[in-house]
Amino acid sequence: MKRRHFLGLSLAASASILTASAHAQTTSAAPKRIYRITYRGRTAVEEGFDDYLAANGAKVEFIERDAQRDPSKIPGFVQEIHEMKPDLVYTWGTPVTLGTAGRYDAAEKAKYITEIPIVFALVSAPVQAGIVKSTEHPGRNVTGAVHVVPTETQLRAMESYRPFKKLGVLYSLNEQNSVSIVEDLKKLQGKLGFELIERTFRMVDGKPVADGIPELIAEIKAAGADWLYLLPDTFLGTQYSVVAPAALSEKLPTFGAAELAIREGGALVALVARYYSVGQLAASKALKILEQGIPPEDIPIETLKRFSLIINMPVAKQLELYPPIEMLNYAEVLTS
């Protein structure tokens, strides 16, 4: 009996030592390296991403790179990723994600990152853009968080604020996500009973340029548009300082599909998934990869389940176009 008692103590002590050793190895492990590519610098998405990781005790270090609104920088980042071999790559927006991951059916795989896990944020239409075949089963080294409310839901919110018969849209022909959303709008014309008035940014050497934006918006207004729908178009997002004043001067109300459109872009109203929350959702997927070892191809791409309706009251006053009273019971109202 005494021998068994002694043996039990020895086994317990050994287990304690092994547990302490494993804990020491865990706590002393090197931080995971995340190579982060942003498009126009740091946003609330990155704030949400970083806060989520910190709240969950994740040990990470970031290698920060910013495309500065220039997609031509991305191949250089891809080369650096191949050399540095980080544990995970974070990409912001459709152009950055496509430039880094490539299409799922790309012929020249060596031009892209196809082995290291990639987590994206702010991609509105990953299937239509060719990033993955399916959001439920990505099937490759890419997963992420979608930030756009379904198109029909957006239009119904717009209708609730102000009924419309003609809907204007301005977008980039070289952004597949925007082209896909415009196709969705065309399909919804008959169902919802509206006419689509579309214009595209002028292109120079295959890239959209800001030249002529006020004239394009004036054309949309002259064609009878009741709303200008601000798609989650990456180039459009860099031109709000031009688009918003032009639309206001035409007395053309704007509806934003992304939070930036109303926070910085001067839209009248927006139905959005908050950038900060999108960043948190993306971070939850990064943790599944880094800490649980789940392959990105097995992690569904998702959007948030709750959205926010935001009304820009100073713009409403300028347009003399106020929201229905009942809408104020559930909308967030910006007063400055």
Identify the CATH class of 151-272+308-334: alpha beta
Domain boundaries, the chain: 29-147+275-303, 151-272+308-334
Q: Which residues of the chain have pLDDT under 50?
A: 1-27
pLDDT at 28: 57
Looking at the DSSP bridge assignments, the partners of residue 61 are 33
Which pLDDT belongs to residue 177? 85
User: What is d(CA 181, CA 148) in angstroms, rounded to the nearest whole number?
Assistant: 10
How many other CB atoms sit within 10 Å of the CB of residue 31? 12
The answer to whether the 29-147+275-303 and 151-272+308-334 domains have the same CATH topology is: yes
Q: Is 262 helix (H, G, I), strand (E, B) or coil?
A: helix
Residue 121: enclosing H or E segment and its boundaries? strand 118-121
CB atoms within 10 A of CB 235: 20
Alpha-carbon distance of 176 to 162, in angstroms, equals 29
| Cut 0.85: pTM above it | no
Q: What is the pLDDT of residue 176?
A: 85
* CA–CA dist 96, 69 (Å, integer): 9
What pLDDT does residue 253 have? 98
Parallel, antiparallel or unpaired: strands 207-208 and 203-204: antiparallel
Nearest to 311 by CA among 333, 288, 335: 333
Residue type, 103: R
- CA 227, distance to chain mean position in Å, is 23
Q: How many CA atoms lie within 13 A of 79 on its CB side?
A: 5
Tell me which H or E stretch contains 178. helix 176-192
CATH of domain 29-147+275-303: 3.40.50.2300
Backbone φ/ψ region at 206: left (φ over 0), alpha (ψ -120 to 50), beta: left
The tokens of 309 are what? 């309706």
pLDDT digits (tens, 9 = 90+) for 82-116: 999 999 999 999 999 999 999 999 999 999 999 99
**Distance set, CA 140 to CA 13, 96, 122, 200, 290 (Å):** 45, 17, 19, 32, 16
Query: Which of helix, strand or coil describes residue 40?
Result: coil
Q: Contact at 8 Å (CB) between 299 and 143?
A: yes
Residue 293: Cβ-neighbour burial (10 angstroms; 0-12, 13-18, 19+): exposed
Question: Which class for 173: exposed (0-12), middle (13-18), buried (19 or more C-beta within 10 A)?
Answer: middle
228-265 per-position pLDDT tens digit = 999 989 899 999 999 999 999 999 999 999 898 999 88
| Residue 95 near residue 65 (C-beta atoms within 8 A) | no
